């Protein structure tokens, strides 16, 4: 909004078609730091398969610990370690990212792993996950959950790769004007939401 040209840190991560693709898009600066200062110095993937698996294990264990000294964060990191190793070495994963349903696979596990990341303990994460798979029965949807449906619908629409369509019109004056108006409107809505919300501390102050 202020005209600074800084490196892109998130590149439409929820359009990812695999877990490895997700981490090429999500928190790019953090991924690069772990790659450059831990993964590559340990040997990266230019080594034997057992050594590469060990390198990945260390990187993702450290990634979990970096977010917080709690088993739920470590579980989150190790979950990605397992998925990335499967994508790398499992024969049935050699064509991952080439089909439309690969997006569903990626979103499923990314959202599943957000649960231990956000939960305050492993037991809480376990309750949420078991409840999602029907352990608490199929009761009436609470009113609080229904309130999120419009946001889910909007998010689902935004997930589509609209940028490919917009790139065709990016040089048109009318498109630049509409884009500017939309960005300013969204900025105003975001500022209104911040002003009207309760105190929300900087999320990385917890890590």
pLDDT tens profile 121-154: 899 999 889 888 877 766 666 677 778 888 888 8
Residue 203 clears pLDDT 80, i.e. is over it: no
Q: How far apart are CA 31 and CA 40, in angstroms?
A: 12
Question: Where in the sequence is the domain holding 41, given as residue range(s)?
Answer: 13-140
For residue 147, is it within any domain?
A: no
Give me 11's structure tokens. Answer: 């590149």
Contact 16, 22 (CB under 8 A): yes
43: left (phi > 0), else alpha (psi -120 to 50), else beta? left
For residue 49, is it within any domain?
A: yes
Whether residues 203 and 133 fall in one domain = no
Residue showing tokens 């994508």: 87
Query: Which pTM value belongs to this model?
Result: 0.80
Whether residues 166 and 110 fall in one domain = no
Whether residues 107 and 201 fall in one domain = no
Contact 23, 167 (CB under 8 A): no
What integer pLDDT is reported at residue 100 of this predicted model?
A: 87
Whether residues 121 and 178 fall in one domain = no
Q: Which of 140, 171, 195 is the last residue of a domain?
A: 140
Q: How far apart are CA 92 and CA 179, in angstroms?
A: 42
Whether residues 109 and 170 fall in one domain = no
Whether residues 78 and 174 fall in one domain = no
Whether residues 87 and 175 fall in one domain = no
Q: Which of 140, 169, 188 is the last residue of a domain?
A: 140
pLDDT tens string 154-186: 888 887 778 888 888 888 899 999 989 999 999
Whether residues 41 and 135 fall in one domain = yes
Whether residues 111 and 167 fall in one domain = no
For residue 195, is it within any domain?
A: yes
Angle at 141 between CA 140 and CA 145, to 5 degrees: 165
For residue 153, is it within any domain?
A: no
Residue 207 clears pLDDT 70, i.e. is over it: no
Whether residues 135 and 165 fall in one domain = no
Hey, which residues are catalytic here? 67
Residue showing tokens 């772990």: 34
Number of domains present in the structure of the chain: 2
């Amino acid at each position: 909004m202020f005209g600074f040209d800084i490196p892109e840190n998130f590149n439409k991560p929820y359009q990812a078609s695999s877990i490895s693709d997700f981490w090429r898009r999500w928190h790019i600066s953090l991924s690069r730091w772990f790659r450059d200062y831990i993964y590559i110095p340990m040997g990266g993937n230019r080594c034997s398969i057992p050594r590469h698996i060990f390198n990945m294990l260390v990187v993702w264990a450290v990634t979990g610990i970096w977010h917080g000294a709690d088993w739920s964060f470590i579980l989150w990191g190790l979950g990605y370690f397992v998925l990335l190793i499967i994508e790398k070495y499992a024969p049935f994963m050699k064509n991952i990212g080439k089909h439309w349903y690969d997006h569903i696979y990626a979103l499923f596990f990314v959202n599943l792993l957000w649960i231990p990341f956000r939960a305050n303990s492993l037991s809480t994460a376990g309750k949420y996950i078991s409840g999602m798979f029907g352990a608490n029965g199929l009761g009436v949807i609470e009113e609080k959950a229904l309130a999120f449906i419009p946001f889910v619908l909007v998010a689902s629409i935004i997930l589509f790769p609209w940028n490919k369509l917009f790139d065709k019109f990016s040089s048109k004056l009318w498109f630049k004007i509409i884009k500017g108006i939309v960005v300013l409107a969204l900025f105003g809505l975001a500022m209104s939401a911040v002003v009207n919300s309760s105190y929300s501390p900087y999320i990385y102050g917890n890590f």
